[in-house]
Amino acid sequence: MRNKILTGLTACVAAAAVAAPAQAQVAPTAPTGAPAPAISASKCTVRHSNETKAGFTYADCELNVTNVPGNETVKIHYSSNLKTYTPKGAEFGPWNRRSGTITANDGEITTLQMAFPGKTAAQVRKQLKVALSTTTPGVTVTTPIAHA
């Protein structure tokens, strides 16, 4: 009887010893209370301008940067699926290229402004997609594709 009890206790202690390291590896999740840093895009606004002789179609895409700690700058990479250009003679701008990187700080609303050669406003509204990404550690892109 004594051997059965010792065998049972040994088995319990061995099982507890094996299970203990697995439990010790679980990292506790400490509540921070602050939302994670994020980049989001609102819907792109598409318009046609008659400002130049031939006129042109352009889009404004607003990017919002929120909850970035301190004075950290966030790099935002963007890429349009449509070819862009700089309209000659346009009094407003500046015009963003088809792809590139812009920087922003917490609370900033940054606007991508792109003009599209040979496209109507309806075509741009239907076809435009702007991909967004970031290499800034800890920052999430909540809207990875901006649409018109």
Domain count, the chain: 1
pLDDT tens digits for range 46-60: 999 998 888 999 999
pLDDT tens readout for residues 59-89: 999 999 999 988 789 999 999 999 999 999 8
pTM value > 0.85 = no
Q: Is residue 110 part of a domain?
A: yes
| pLDDT score of 125 more than 60 | yes
- Is residue 105, in this structure, part of any structural domain at all? yes
Asked if 146 contacts 129 with a C-beta cutoff of 8 angstroms, the reply is yes
Q: Closest by alpha carbon to 84, among 62, 113, 55?
A: 113
Strand-pair partners of 51: none
State CA 27 to chain mean position distance. Answer: 26
What domain range includes position 47? 39-147
Q: Does 116 map to a domain?
A: yes
Q: Does residue 34 sit within a domain?
A: no
- Is the pLDDT score of 20 beyond 50? no
- The three-state secondary structure class of 17 is helix
Closest CA to 111 of 102, 119, 120: 102
CATH code assigned at 57: 2.60.40
Cα separation, 118 vs 54, whole angstroms: 10
